[in-house]
Chains A and B, each alone.
Chain A
Protein backbone atom coordinates (compact mmCIF):
# COMPACT_ATOMS: atom_id res chain seq x y z
CA UNK A 1 0.00 0.00 0.00
CA UNK A 2 1.46 3.32 -0.94
CA UNK A 3 -1.57 5.39 0.04
CA UNK A 4 0.66 7.31 2.43
CA UNK A 5 2.36 9.06 -0.43
CA UNK A 6 5.75 8.24 1.02
CA UNK A 7 7.20 5.29 -0.89
CA UNK A 8 9.57 3.22 1.19
CA UNK A 9 12.89 2.31 -0.40
CA UNK A 10 12.43 -1.08 -2.02
CA UNK A 11 15.83 -2.34 -1.03
CA UNK A 12 15.33 -1.84 2.73
CA UNK A 13 14.51 -4.85 4.84
CA UNK A 14 10.93 -4.95 6.23
CA UNK A 15 12.22 -4.19 9.68
CA UNK A 16 14.11 -1.02 8.87
CA UNK A 17 11.26 -0.05 6.59
CA UNK A 18 8.67 0.24 9.33
CA UNK A 19 11.18 1.76 11.66
CA UNK A 20 11.91 4.48 9.18
CA UNK A 21 8.40 5.31 8.11
CA UNK A 22 6.55 6.21 11.31
CA UNK A 23 8.46 9.40 12.14
CA UNK A 24 7.58 11.06 8.84
CA UNK A 25 4.08 9.71 8.59
CA UNK A 26 3.38 10.83 12.16
CA UNK A 27 4.40 14.37 11.37
CA UNK A 28 2.24 14.23 8.26
CA UNK A 29 -0.78 12.99 10.22
CA UNK A 30 -0.58 15.80 12.78
CA UNK A 31 0.22 18.57 10.33
CA UNK A 32 -3.41 19.72 9.78
CA UNK A 33 -3.87 19.95 13.54
CA UNK A 34 -0.59 21.83 13.97
CA UNK A 35 -1.68 24.29 11.28
CA UNK A 36 -5.03 24.69 12.99
CA UNK A 37 -3.53 25.35 16.43
CA UNK A 38 -1.13 27.86 14.90
CA UNK A 39 -3.83 29.73 13.00
CA UNK A 40 -6.54 29.66 15.64
CA UNK A 41 -4.58 29.86 18.90
CA UNK A 42 -0.94 30.84 18.58
CA UNK A 43 -1.29 33.63 16.00
CA UNK A 44 -4.39 35.24 17.61
CA UNK A 45 -2.76 35.03 21.04
CA UNK A 46 0.35 36.79 19.76
CA UNK A 47 -1.74 39.24 17.77
CA UNK A 48 -3.86 40.18 20.79
CA UNK A 49 -0.72 40.95 22.79
CA UNK A 50 0.61 43.06 19.91
CA UNK A 51 -2.67 44.96 19.55
CA UNK A 52 -2.83 45.61 23.28
CA UNK A 53 0.38 47.68 23.12
CA UNK A 54 -0.67 49.75 20.11
CA UNK A 55 -3.32 52.24 19.16
CA UNK A 56 -5.35 50.01 16.87
CA UNK A 57 -8.31 50.70 14.58
CA UNK A 58 -10.58 48.55 12.46
CA UNK A 59 -9.79 49.16 8.82
CA UNK A 60 -10.99 47.79 5.52
CA UNK A 61 -8.71 45.02 4.23
CA UNK A 62 -5.65 46.39 2.49
CA UNK A 63 -5.93 49.86 4.00
CA UNK A 64 -2.74 51.00 5.66
CA UNK A 65 -3.25 53.05 8.76
CA UNK A 66 -0.80 54.11 11.41
CA UNK A 67 -0.89 51.95 14.56
CA UNK A 68 1.50 53.70 16.97
CA UNK A 69 3.06 51.98 19.96
CA UNK A 70 1.40 53.27 23.13
CA UNK A 71 3.07 51.12 25.79
CA UNK A 72 0.85 50.40 28.74
CA UNK A 73 -1.74 53.06 27.93
CA UNK A 74 -4.45 50.52 26.99
CA UNK A 75 -3.79 48.57 30.18
CA UNK A 76 -4.04 51.76 32.18
CA UNK A 77 -7.43 52.44 30.57
CA UNK A 78 -8.58 48.90 31.34
CA UNK A 79 -7.59 49.05 35.00
CA UNK A 80 -9.20 52.43 35.60
CA UNK A 81 -12.45 51.63 33.77
CA UNK A 82 -15.29 51.32 36.30
CA UNK A 83 -17.25 48.95 34.04
CA UNK A 84 -14.24 46.62 33.79
CA UNK A 85 -13.82 46.71 37.56
CA UNK A 86 -17.50 45.92 37.99
CA UNK A 87 -17.26 43.02 35.53
CA UNK A 88 -14.41 41.44 37.51
CA UNK A 89 -16.37 41.92 40.73
CA UNK A 90 -19.24 40.16 38.94
CA UNK A 91 -17.04 37.13 38.15
CA UNK A 92 -16.12 37.03 41.83
CA UNK A 93 -19.83 37.02 42.76
CA UNK A 94 -20.40 34.37 40.11
CA UNK A 95 -17.65 32.11 41.48
CA UNK A 96 -18.65 32.56 45.12
CA UNK A 97 -22.14 31.26 44.26
CA UNK A 98 -21.35 28.85 41.43
CA UNK A 99 -18.42 26.88 42.88
CA UNK A 100 -19.89 25.83 46.27
CA UNK A 101 -23.32 25.23 44.76
CA UNK A 102 -21.88 23.06 41.98
CA UNK A 103 -19.63 21.06 44.29
CA UNK A 104 -22.35 20.38 46.86
CA UNK A 105 -25.22 19.64 44.47
CA UNK A 106 -23.15 17.55 42.05
CA UNK A 107 -21.63 15.51 44.86
CA UNK A 108 -24.99 14.91 46.57
CA UNK A 109 -26.68 13.87 43.32
CA UNK A 110 -23.75 11.69 42.26
CA UNK A 111 -23.66 9.96 45.67
CA UNK A 112 -27.41 9.34 45.48
CA UNK A 113 -26.98 7.96 41.98
CA UNK A 114 -24.07 5.70 42.96
CA UNK A 115 -26.13 2.58 43.70
CA UNK A 116 -28.33 0.05 41.96
CA UNK A 117 -31.62 1.93 41.70
CA UNK A 118 -34.76 1.84 39.63
CA UNK A 119 -34.82 4.48 36.85
CA UNK A 120 -31.10 5.07 37.24
CA UNK A 121 -30.50 5.81 33.57
CA UNK A 122 -33.56 8.06 33.50
CA UNK A 123 -32.08 10.18 36.28
CA UNK A 124 -28.70 10.32 34.59
CA UNK A 125 -30.32 11.42 31.36
CA UNK A 126 -32.38 14.07 33.17
CA UNK A 127 -29.31 15.64 34.77
CA UNK A 128 -27.34 15.64 31.55
CA UNK A 129 -30.07 17.18 29.43
CA UNK A 130 -29.40 20.90 30.14
CA UNK A 131 -25.69 20.32 29.49
CA UNK A 132 -26.30 19.18 25.90
CA UNK A 133 -28.93 21.81 25.15
CA UNK A 134 -28.15 25.19 23.57
CA UNK A 135 -27.70 28.08 26.00
CA UNK A 136 -29.87 30.30 23.85
CA UNK A 137 -32.87 27.93 24.13
CA UNK A 138 -32.45 27.57 27.89
CA UNK A 139 -31.89 31.29 28.44
CA UNK A 140 -35.21 31.89 26.67
CA UNK A 141 -37.04 29.61 29.13
CA UNK A 142 -35.34 31.15 32.13
CA UNK A 143 -36.27 34.61 30.98
CA UNK A 144 -39.85 33.35 30.75
CA UNK A 145 -39.70 31.90 34.29
CA UNK A 146 -37.75 34.73 35.94
CA UNK A 147 -39.33 37.66 34.06
CA UNK A 148 -41.32 40.32 35.91
CA UNK A 149 -44.60 38.55 34.99
CA UNK A 150 -42.98 35.13 34.99
CA UNK A 151 -44.05 31.93 36.67
CA UNK A 152 -41.78 32.39 39.67
CA UNK A 153 -43.18 35.81 40.54
CA UNK A 154 -46.73 34.54 40.02
CA UNK A 155 -46.03 31.78 42.55
CA UNK A 156 -44.29 34.14 44.97
CA UNK A 157 -47.03 36.77 44.77
CA UNK A 158 -46.23 39.56 47.22
CA UNK A 159 -42.89 37.95 48.03
CA UNK A 160 -41.61 38.64 44.52
CA UNK A 161 -38.53 40.90 44.55
CA UNK A 162 -38.95 44.47 43.39
CA UNK A 163 -37.41 45.29 40.95
CA UNK A 164 -37.74 41.80 39.52
CA UNK A 165 -34.91 39.24 39.33
CA UNK A 166 -33.26 40.09 36.03
CA UNK A 167 -33.49 43.88 36.33
CA UNK A 168 -32.46 43.96 39.99
CA UNK A 169 -28.85 45.05 40.46
CA UNK A 170 -28.36 42.81 43.51
CA UNK A 171 -30.08 39.74 42.09
CA UNK A 172 -29.19 39.74 38.38
CA UNK A 173 -25.70 38.24 38.82
CA UNK A 174 -26.79 35.57 41.34
CA UNK A 175 -29.56 34.49 38.92
CA UNK A 176 -26.93 34.10 36.19
CA UNK A 177 -24.71 32.09 38.56
CA UNK A 178 -27.62 29.79 39.43
CA UNK A 179 -28.55 29.42 35.76
CA UNK A 180 -25.02 28.37 34.80
CA UNK A 181 -24.84 26.00 37.79
CA UNK A 182 -28.05 24.33 36.63
CA UNK A 183 -26.91 24.15 33.01
CA UNK A 184 -23.50 22.59 33.75
CA UNK A 185 -24.38 20.43 36.74
CA UNK A 186 -25.00 17.24 34.73
CA UNK A 187 -21.43 17.22 33.47
CA UNK A 188 -20.09 17.44 37.02
CA UNK A 189 -22.52 14.80 38.30
CA UNK A 190 -21.04 12.39 35.72
CA UNK A 191 -17.53 13.44 36.68
CA UNK A 192 -18.17 12.81 40.38
CA UNK A 193 -19.91 9.54 39.54
CA UNK A 194 -16.75 8.33 37.79
CA UNK A 195 -14.63 9.52 40.72
CA UNK A 196 -16.90 7.84 43.29
CA UNK A 197 -16.41 4.50 41.59
CA UNK A 198 -12.71 4.67 42.36
CA UNK A 199 -13.19 5.28 46.11
CA UNK A 200 -12.37 1.92 47.76
CA UNK A 201 -15.43 0.24 49.30
CA UNK A 202 -13.35 -0.99 52.28
CA UNK A 203 -12.92 2.59 53.49
CA UNK A 204 -16.69 2.85 54.03
CA UNK A 205 -16.72 -0.49 55.82
CA UNK A 206 -13.94 0.47 58.19
CA UNK A 207 -15.59 3.85 58.79
CA UNK A 208 -18.81 2.13 59.81
CA UNK A 209 -16.89 -0.28 62.05
CA UNK A 210 -15.37 2.77 63.72
CA UNK A 211 -18.94 3.91 64.39
CA UNK A 212 -19.09 6.66 61.79
CA UNK A 213 -22.61 7.65 60.77
CA UNK A 214 -23.79 8.39 57.27
CA UNK A 215 -22.81 12.06 57.39
CA UNK A 216 -19.47 11.38 59.07
CA UNK A 217 -18.42 8.78 56.52
CA UNK A 218 -19.53 11.08 53.69
CA UNK A 219 -17.34 13.85 55.10
CA UNK A 220 -14.28 11.75 55.90
CA UNK A 221 -14.35 9.15 53.11
CA UNK A 222 -16.30 10.48 50.13
CA UNK A 223 -15.19 14.11 50.16
CA UNK A 224 -11.43 13.41 50.30
CA UNK A 225 -11.87 10.50 47.87
CA UNK A 226 -13.13 12.76 45.09
CA UNK A 227 -10.72 15.63 45.67
CA UNK A 228 -9.29 15.47 42.14
CA UNK A 229 -12.76 15.88 40.70
CA UNK A 230 -13.38 18.86 42.99
CA UNK A 231 -10.23 20.53 41.67
CA UNK A 232 -11.46 19.97 38.15
CA UNK A 233 -14.89 21.40 39.00
CA UNK A 234 -13.26 24.52 40.43
CA UNK A 235 -10.97 25.04 37.46
CA UNK A 236 -13.85 24.50 35.02
CA UNK A 237 -15.97 27.00 36.95
CA UNK A 238 -13.22 29.61 36.72
CA UNK A 239 -12.90 29.08 32.97
CA UNK A 240 -16.70 29.25 32.58
CA UNK A 241 -16.79 32.45 34.63
CA UNK A 242 -14.09 33.97 32.44
CA UNK A 243 -16.02 32.92 29.31
CA UNK A 244 -19.39 34.23 30.41
CA UNK A 245 -21.09 36.04 27.55
CA UNK A 246 -24.42 34.74 26.27
CA UNK A 247 -26.05 34.60 29.70
CA UNK A 248 -25.53 38.26 30.66
CA UNK A 249 -26.00 39.38 27.06
CA UNK A 250 -29.33 37.61 26.58
CA UNK A 251 -30.70 36.91 30.05
CA UNK A 252 -30.15 40.39 31.42
CA UNK A 253 -30.33 42.42 28.22
CA UNK A 254 -26.66 43.31 27.68
CA UNK A 255 -25.36 43.00 31.23
CA UNK A 256 -27.83 45.28 32.95
CA UNK A 257 -29.05 46.86 35.08
CA UNK A 258 -26.26 49.42 34.92
CA UNK A 259 -23.54 46.77 34.28
CA UNK A 260 -24.51 44.89 37.45
CA UNK A 261 -24.38 41.59 35.53
CA UNK A 262 -21.74 42.52 32.97
CA UNK A 263 -18.85 40.11 32.34
CA UNK A 264 -15.34 40.81 31.02
CA UNK A 265 -16.06 39.09 27.69
CA UNK A 266 -19.24 41.13 27.34
CA UNK A 267 -17.23 44.30 27.98
CA UNK A 268 -14.68 43.10 25.39
CA UNK A 269 -17.51 42.75 22.88
CA UNK A 270 -19.11 46.09 23.71
CA UNK A 271 -15.87 48.09 23.84
CA UNK A 272 -14.02 46.24 21.11
CA UNK A 273 -16.65 45.65 18.49
CA UNK A 274 -19.70 47.81 19.24
CA UNK A 275 -17.69 50.89 20.22
CA UNK A 276 -14.70 50.05 17.96
CA UNK A 277 -11.90 50.14 20.53
CA UNK A 278 -10.18 46.83 19.73
CA UNK A 279 -6.97 47.90 21.48
CA UNK A 280 -8.81 48.36 24.77
CA UNK A 281 -10.53 44.99 24.29
CA UNK A 282 -7.23 43.26 23.47
CA UNK A 283 -5.63 44.58 26.67
CA UNK A 284 -8.68 43.43 28.61
CA UNK A 285 -8.32 39.99 27.01
CA UNK A 286 -4.69 39.75 28.11
CA UNK A 287 -5.60 40.79 31.66
CA UNK A 288 -8.35 38.16 31.65
CA UNK A 289 -5.98 35.36 30.53
CA UNK A 290 -3.54 36.25 33.31
CA UNK A 291 -6.43 36.42 35.78
CA UNK A 292 -7.69 32.95 34.74
CA UNK A 293 -4.28 31.31 34.88
CA UNK A 294 -3.45 32.77 38.31
CA UNK A 295 -6.87 31.91 39.73
CA UNK A 296 -6.74 28.37 38.34
CA UNK A 297 -3.30 27.79 39.86
CA UNK A 298 -4.42 29.16 43.24
CA UNK A 299 -7.59 27.04 43.15
CA UNK A 300 -5.55 23.96 42.31
CA UNK A 301 -3.15 24.57 45.20
CA UNK A 302 -6.04 25.23 47.55
CA UNK A 303 -8.18 22.19 46.72
CA UNK A 304 -5.22 19.82 46.47
CA UNK A 305 -3.88 20.87 49.87
CA UNK A 306 -3.47 17.86 52.13
CA UNK A 307 -4.32 15.50 49.29
CA UNK A 308 -0.98 13.74 49.19
Chain B
Protein backbone atom coordinates (compact mmCIF):
# COMPACT_ATOMS: atom_id res chain seq x y z
CA UNK B 1 0.00 0.00 0.00
CA UNK B 2 0.83 3.64 -0.14
CA UNK B 3 3.87 4.88 1.82
CA UNK B 4 4.83 3.88 5.34
CA UNK B 5 6.12 0.52 6.50
CA UNK B 6 3.83 -1.83 8.34
CA UNK B 7 5.75 -1.77 11.69
CA UNK B 8 5.64 2.03 11.73
CA UNK B 9 1.89 2.03 11.04
CA UNK B 10 1.24 -0.50 13.76
CA UNK B 11 3.38 1.44 16.24
CA UNK B 12 1.47 4.67 15.55
CA UNK B 13 -1.89 2.92 15.76
CA UNK B 14 -1.02 1.09 18.99
CA UNK B 15 0.14 4.28 20.64
CA UNK B 16 -3.08 5.94 19.57
CA UNK B 17 -5.22 3.05 20.81
CA UNK B 18 -3.60 3.23 24.25
CA UNK B 19 -4.36 6.94 24.49
CA UNK B 20 -7.97 6.29 23.48
CA UNK B 21 -8.67 3.25 25.61
CA UNK B 22 -6.76 4.01 28.79
CA UNK B 23 -9.41 6.37 30.28
CA UNK B 24 -12.07 3.67 29.76
CA UNK B 25 -9.91 1.08 31.44
CA UNK B 26 -9.12 3.48 34.28
CA UNK B 27 -12.82 4.23 34.72
CA UNK B 28 -13.67 0.53 35.13
CA UNK B 29 -10.77 -0.18 37.51
CA UNK B 30 -11.60 2.95 39.51
CA UNK B 31 -15.25 1.93 39.80
CA UNK B 32 -14.23 -1.38 41.39
CA UNK B 33 -11.66 -0.12 43.92
CA UNK B 34 -12.43 -0.01 47.64
CA UNK B 35 -10.41 3.20 47.85
CA UNK B 36 -10.23 5.07 44.56
CA UNK B 37 -7.34 7.52 44.39
CA UNK B 38 -4.87 8.86 41.87
CA UNK B 39 -2.03 6.71 43.20
CA UNK B 40 -0.08 4.67 40.70
CA UNK B 41 -1.33 1.35 42.03
CA UNK B 42 -4.88 2.63 41.46
CA UNK B 43 -4.20 2.08 37.77
CA UNK B 44 -3.78 -1.66 38.30
CA UNK B 45 -6.61 -3.99 39.22
CA UNK B 46 -6.08 -5.35 42.71
CA UNK B 47 -7.88 -8.65 43.19
CA UNK B 48 -8.02 -8.31 46.97
CA UNK B 49 -9.33 -4.74 46.82
CA UNK B 50 -12.24 -5.22 44.43
CA UNK B 51 -15.76 -4.29 45.46
CA UNK B 52 -19.15 -3.52 44.01
CA UNK B 53 -19.72 -1.08 46.86
CA UNK B 54 -19.26 1.95 44.59
CA UNK B 55 -22.18 0.85 42.44
CA UNK B 56 -24.30 0.54 45.56
CA UNK B 57 -23.32 3.97 46.83
CA UNK B 58 -23.96 5.76 43.52
CA UNK B 59 -27.31 3.96 43.38
CA UNK B 60 -28.07 5.24 46.88
CA UNK B 61 -27.05 8.80 46.03
CA UNK B 62 -28.86 9.32 42.71
CA UNK B 63 -31.17 6.29 42.29
CA UNK B 64 -29.70 4.76 39.16
CA UNK B 65 -32.79 2.81 38.15
CA UNK B 66 -35.01 5.87 37.96
CA UNK B 67 -32.34 7.87 36.09
CA UNK B 68 -31.89 5.03 33.60
CA UNK B 69 -35.64 4.88 32.99
CA UNK B 70 -35.66 8.65 32.37
CA UNK B 71 -32.73 8.36 29.95
CA UNK B 72 -34.52 5.48 28.24
CA UNK B 73 -37.82 7.31 27.80
CA UNK B 74 -36.07 10.45 26.55
CA UNK B 75 -33.93 8.48 24.07
CA UNK B 76 -36.74 6.24 22.83
CA UNK B 77 -39.05 9.22 22.35
CA UNK B 78 -36.49 10.93 20.15
CA UNK B 79 -35.72 7.70 18.30
CA UNK B 80 -39.37 6.95 17.61
CA UNK B 81 -40.14 10.45 16.27
CA UNK B 82 -37.02 10.50 14.13
CA UNK B 83 -37.67 7.06 12.67
CA UNK B 84 -41.32 7.77 11.83
CA UNK B 85 -41.31 11.44 10.80
CA UNK B 86 -37.67 11.53 9.70
CA UNK B 87 -38.07 8.60 7.31
CA UNK B 88 -41.21 10.18 5.84
CA UNK B 89 -39.40 13.51 5.35
CA UNK B 90 -36.25 11.88 4.00
CA UNK B 91 -38.27 9.83 1.53
CA UNK B 92 -40.26 12.84 0.35
CA UNK B 93 -37.09 14.92 -0.05
CA UNK B 94 -35.45 12.19 -2.09
CA UNK B 95 -38.30 10.78 -4.14
CA UNK B 96 -41.35 13.01 -4.26
CA UNK B 97 -41.92 16.32 -5.95
CA UNK B 98 -43.73 19.00 -4.04
CA UNK B 99 -43.65 22.75 -3.87
CA UNK B 100 -40.83 24.08 -1.68
CA UNK B 101 -38.73 20.92 -1.78
CA UNK B 102 -35.55 22.78 -2.71
CA UNK B 103 -36.13 25.39 -0.04
CA UNK B 104 -36.79 22.75 2.59
CA UNK B 105 -33.58 20.95 1.70
CA UNK B 106 -31.63 24.20 2.02
CA UNK B 107 -33.27 24.79 5.41
CA UNK B 108 -32.31 21.26 6.46
CA UNK B 109 -28.66 21.99 5.72
CA UNK B 110 -28.86 25.34 7.51
CA UNK B 111 -30.43 23.78 10.61
CA UNK B 112 -27.46 21.45 10.91
CA UNK B 113 -24.98 24.31 10.98
CA UNK B 114 -26.77 26.34 13.67
CA UNK B 115 -25.42 25.21 17.03
CA UNK B 116 -28.34 24.03 19.12
CA UNK B 117 -27.06 25.69 22.29
CA UNK B 118 -27.59 29.09 20.68
CA UNK B 119 -31.32 28.49 20.68
CA UNK B 120 -31.36 27.23 24.22
CA UNK B 121 -32.49 30.47 25.84
CA UNK B 122 -35.62 31.15 23.74
CA UNK B 123 -36.41 27.42 23.80
CA UNK B 124 -36.13 27.48 27.57
CA UNK B 125 -38.47 30.46 27.76
CA UNK B 126 -40.97 28.82 25.40
CA UNK B 127 -40.85 25.22 26.61
CA UNK B 128 -40.42 25.71 30.34
CA UNK B 129 -42.02 29.08 31.00
CA UNK B 130 -44.72 29.44 28.34
CA UNK B 131 -45.77 25.81 27.71
CA UNK B 132 -45.11 24.68 31.28
CA UNK B 133 -43.24 21.58 30.11
CA UNK B 134 -40.46 21.74 32.69
CA UNK B 135 -39.81 18.41 34.42
CA UNK B 136 -41.68 16.46 31.74
CA UNK B 137 -40.59 13.93 29.14
CA UNK B 138 -42.28 15.95 26.41
CA UNK B 139 -40.24 19.02 27.34
CA UNK B 140 -37.06 16.96 27.19
CA UNK B 141 -37.87 15.34 23.85
CA UNK B 142 -39.35 18.32 21.98
CA UNK B 143 -36.18 20.11 20.77
CA UNK B 144 -34.62 16.84 19.57
CA UNK B 145 -37.79 15.16 18.31
CA UNK B 146 -36.68 14.91 14.68
CA UNK B 147 -32.93 14.63 14.20
CA UNK B 148 -32.04 16.69 11.11
CA UNK B 149 -28.78 14.85 10.48
CA UNK B 150 -30.76 11.61 10.37
CA UNK B 151 -33.26 13.14 7.92
CA UNK B 152 -30.33 14.11 5.71
CA UNK B 153 -28.89 10.59 5.91
CA UNK B 154 -32.27 8.99 5.14
CA UNK B 155 -32.59 11.20 2.08
CA UNK B 156 -29.16 10.08 0.85
CA UNK B 157 -30.13 6.41 1.31
CA UNK B 158 -33.39 6.72 -0.59
CA UNK B 159 -31.63 8.58 -3.41
CA UNK B 160 -29.40 5.57 -3.99
CA UNK B 161 -32.31 3.31 -4.99
CA UNK B 162 -32.69 3.16 -8.80
CA UNK B 163 -35.67 5.16 -10.04
CA UNK B 164 -37.05 2.20 -12.01
CA UNK B 165 -38.27 0.51 -8.79
CA UNK B 166 -40.44 3.49 -7.97
CA UNK B 167 -41.75 3.93 -11.49
CA UNK B 168 -42.76 0.28 -11.73
CA UNK B 169 -44.57 0.39 -8.40
CA UNK B 170 -46.37 3.61 -9.29
CA UNK B 171 -47.54 2.25 -12.61
CA UNK B 172 -48.88 -0.76 -10.72
CA UNK B 173 -50.93 1.76 -8.73
CA UNK B 174 -49.26 1.36 -5.35
CA UNK B 175 -49.72 4.25 -2.97
CA UNK B 176 -46.66 6.20 -1.85
CA UNK B 177 -46.98 4.94 1.70
CA UNK B 178 -47.05 1.36 0.41
CA UNK B 179 -44.03 1.99 -1.85
CA UNK B 180 -42.15 3.45 1.09
CA UNK B 181 -43.07 0.61 3.43
CA UNK B 182 -42.77 -2.37 1.07
CA UNK B 183 -40.07 -1.32 -1.37
CA UNK B 184 -37.95 1.60 -0.20
CA UNK B 185 -37.52 0.75 3.51
CA UNK B 186 -36.58 -2.92 2.97
CA UNK B 187 -33.95 -1.86 0.43
CA UNK B 188 -32.19 0.54 2.77
CA UNK B 189 -32.81 -1.28 6.06
CA UNK B 190 -29.11 -1.66 7.05
CA UNK B 191 -28.56 2.02 6.34
CA UNK B 192 -31.60 2.99 8.41
CA UNK B 193 -30.00 1.14 11.29
CA UNK B 194 -26.99 3.49 11.13
CA UNK B 195 -29.38 6.42 11.26
CA UNK B 196 -31.11 4.93 14.30
CA UNK B 197 -27.80 4.33 16.09
CA UNK B 198 -26.60 7.82 15.31
CA UNK B 199 -29.86 9.19 16.69
CA UNK B 200 -29.60 7.05 19.82
CA UNK B 201 -26.28 8.43 21.05
CA UNK B 202 -27.50 12.04 20.82
CA UNK B 203 -30.20 12.07 23.52
CA UNK B 204 -28.51 9.33 25.55
CA UNK B 205 -25.41 11.49 25.94
CA UNK B 206 -27.11 14.90 25.97
CA UNK B 207 -26.52 16.98 29.06
CA UNK B 208 -27.33 20.68 28.68
CA UNK B 209 -30.99 20.59 27.60
CA UNK B 210 -32.29 18.00 30.10
CA UNK B 211 -30.20 19.79 32.73
CA UNK B 212 -32.16 22.99 31.98
CA UNK B 213 -35.64 21.47 31.88
CA UNK B 214 -35.41 19.05 34.80
CA UNK B 215 -35.08 20.45 38.28
CA UNK B 216 -36.82 17.49 39.92
CA UNK B 217 -34.30 14.67 40.60
CA UNK B 218 -36.99 12.08 39.79
CA UNK B 219 -37.17 13.32 36.21
CA UNK B 220 -33.45 13.66 35.48
CA UNK B 221 -31.75 11.40 32.94
CA UNK B 222 -28.57 9.69 34.10
CA UNK B 223 -26.16 12.21 32.50
CA UNK B 224 -27.85 15.01 34.46
CA UNK B 225 -28.07 13.23 37.80
CA UNK B 226 -24.46 12.09 37.48
CA UNK B 227 -23.35 15.66 36.78
CA UNK B 228 -25.37 16.76 39.82
CA UNK B 229 -23.54 14.17 41.89
CA UNK B 230 -20.23 15.43 40.50
CA UNK B 231 -20.90 19.04 41.48
CA UNK B 232 -22.61 18.78 44.86
CA UNK B 233 -23.23 15.30 46.24
CA UNK B 234 -19.73 13.88 46.41
CA UNK B 235 -19.53 14.45 50.16
CA UNK B 236 -22.44 12.09 50.81
CA UNK B 237 -20.57 8.85 50.04
CA UNK B 238 -17.46 7.20 51.50
CA UNK B 239 -15.52 6.78 48.24
CA UNK B 240 -16.78 9.62 46.01
CA UNK B 241 -14.40 9.08 43.09
CA UNK B 242 -15.18 5.37 43.02
CA UNK B 243 -18.91 6.09 43.08
CA UNK B 244 -18.51 8.64 40.29
CA UNK B 245 -16.56 6.12 38.18
CA UNK B 246 -19.28 3.55 38.81
CA UNK B 247 -21.93 6.01 37.61
CA UNK B 248 -19.79 6.90 34.59
CA UNK B 249 -19.57 3.20 33.70
CA UNK B 250 -23.34 2.78 33.89
CA UNK B 251 -23.82 5.85 31.67
CA UNK B 252 -21.16 4.73 29.17
CA UNK B 253 -22.11 1.05 28.87
CA UNK B 254 -25.36 1.19 26.82
CA UNK B 255 -23.87 3.39 24.08
CA UNK B 256 -20.56 1.47 24.06
CA UNK B 257 -22.29 -1.93 23.87
CA UNK B 258 -24.57 -0.79 21.04
CA UNK B 259 -21.56 0.63 19.26
CA UNK B 260 -19.55 -2.58 19.59
CA UNK B 261 -22.50 -4.72 18.47
CA UNK B 262 -23.22 -2.61 15.41
CA UNK B 263 -19.77 -1.23 14.78
CA UNK B 264 -19.96 -1.85 11.05
CA UNK B 265 -23.01 0.39 10.81
CA UNK B 266 -21.41 3.22 12.74
CA UNK B 267 -18.31 3.39 10.62
CA UNK B 268 -19.91 2.80 7.25
CA UNK B 269 -21.94 5.97 7.34
CA UNK B 270 -21.34 7.63 4.01
CA UNK B 271 -19.87 10.88 5.26
CA UNK B 272 -18.21 11.44 1.94
CA UNK B 273 -21.43 12.77 0.46
CA UNK B 274 -21.17 15.52 3.04
CA UNK B 275 -17.55 16.38 2.31
CA UNK B 276 -18.17 17.20 -1.33
CA UNK B 277 -20.59 20.02 -0.49
Contact = CB atoms under 8 A, between A and B. Distances in A.
A23 B267 contact: no
Interface in B249-270: 249, 251-252, 255-256, 259-260, 263, 266-267, 269-270
Interface stretch (A44-52, A68-76, A92-100): A44-52
Contacts of B119: 40-41, 44-45, 48, 285
Given A14-B173, A273-B212, A282-B121, A137 B248 contact: yes
User: SS class of chain B's interface: helix, strand, loop or mixed?
Assistant: helix
Given A123-B13, A136-B223, A33 B24 contact: no
Interface stretch (B32-40, B48-56, B185-193): B32-40
Contact of A130 (B10, B13, B20, B117): B20
A82 to B, nearest CB: 21
A182 B19 contact: yes
Contacts of A137: 27, 223, 226, 247-249, 251-252
B230 interface: yes
A172 interface: no
B69 interface: no
A288 B121 CA distance: 13
Interface residues of A, number: 116
B175 A3 contact: yes
A150 B276 CA distance: 44
A141 B4 contact: no
Interface residues of B, number: 108
Nearest to A44: B122
A47 B98 contact: no
Q: Which 7 A-B pairs have the closest CB atoms?
A: A26-B98, A26-B96, A29-B92, A44-B122, A33-B89, A134-B205, A137-B248
Interface of A: 1-4, 14-15, 17-18, 21-27, 29-30, 32-34, 36-37, 39-41, 43-45, 47-48, 51, 58-61, 105, 108-109, 111-119, 121-130, 132-145, 147, 149-155, 182, 185-186, 190-191, 194-195, 198, 201, 204, 214, 217-218, 228-229, 232, 235, 239, 242-243, 245-246, 250, 253, 265, 268-269, 272-273, 278, 281-282, 285, 288-289, 292, 296
Interface of B: 1-4, 6, 8-10, 12-13, 16-17, 19-21, 23-24, 26-27, 30, 36-40, 42-43, 85-86, 88-89, 91-93, 96-101, 104, 107-108, 111, 113-126, 129-130, 132, 142-143, 145-146, 148, 151, 170-171, 173-178, 201, 204-205, 207-208, 212, 223, 226-227, 230-231, 241, 244-245, 247-249, 251-252, 255-256, 259-260, 263, 266-267, 269-272, 274-276
